[in-house]
Amino acid sequence: MQESKPELTIVKIGGNVIDNPDALKMFLADFAAMKGNKILVHGGGKIATKTAEGLGITAVFHEGRRITDKPMLDVAVMTYAGLINKDIVAQLQAKGCNAMGFTGADGNIILSEKRKNAAVDFGFVGDVVAVNAKLLQVLIQHGVIPVFCAITHDGKGQLLNTNADTIASTLAVACSNYFNVNLLYCFEKKGVLMDSNDDNSVIKSLTFDTYKTLREKGVIHSGMLPKLENCFNALQQGVTKIGIGSPEMLKGNITYTVVSR
């Protein structure tokens, strides 16, 4: 029965929080203070772009999605799996939080396949096909707090750049076999907004029907669309609760968007 499962909170952090050392430090303090089982998933696209520019590599995007050629993949692995991931793990360890950093290749936890698209070749970009949730369950039961970056693998020796929002939702779905999973998307905004120019116009509750209506009206658009598609997909596949908002929602005392079926 669902009630007999232990709780697990999966937090995805991205946006300007990752890029701002002070904001990241504050977030990690709040994450470390959270009680219970937890997983952290992080992005870091802006840092990867800046690192690439320093190496003379130009970042290329198609409709907001990164094209990952071999040089850009090398940069992504260096920044996501190396610089950002290990900095986060070290900061969490300093706060008494037994974090362990992962790519999808570690322990074969997240298996992906290279994206198939007839119109656009995204390069070394992966779409998740399987998650080893049993290994995650064992790690969590032994007190490990997994910290995932946005790198997976194809099982044939190839690393792949993978959307961090998708990693978070896919982990949430897979782990729902063993846990009651709460999924939190933290970024610089207070939640899903009715007016993108008004940070206080938070939509407190968002069902799929409401989402469809607001999408058709153009209220919800751009990068929020794939994030919410991931949310509703996860809810349909067993995830208990999803929240979208600023890192302050980890403290539980502010308004944020609760996404439900």
Which positions make up the binding site for substrate?
44-45, 66, 161
Q: How far is CA 157 from CA 71, 76, 112, 113, 130, in A?
A: 17, 16, 11, 12, 16
Here the tokens at position 120 are 């656009």
Q: Within the chain, where are the H helices?
A: 16-19, 21-33, 45-54, 70-76, 85-94, 133-141, 164-175, 208-216, 224-236
Per-residue b or e along 75-105, where b marks 16 or more CB atoms closer than 10 Å to that residue's CB: bbbebbbeebbeebbebbeeeebebebbbbb
d(CA 183, CA 228) in angstroms, rounded, equals 12
Which of 36, 60, 192 lies closest to 121 in space, CA to CA?
60
Report whether 44 contacts 218 (CB < 8 A). no
What proportions of the chain, in percent to the nearest 5, are helix, strand and coil? 40, 25, 35
State the angle between helix axes of 208-216 and 224-236 in degrees (0 to 180), rounded to the nearest 10.
160
Report whether 199 contacts 208 (CB < 8 A). no
Which of 60, 53, 8, 4 lies closest to 173 in space, CA to CA?
8
Question: Residue ranges for the binding site?
Answer: 44-45, 66, 161
Report which secondary-structure segment, H or E, holds 131: strand 126-131
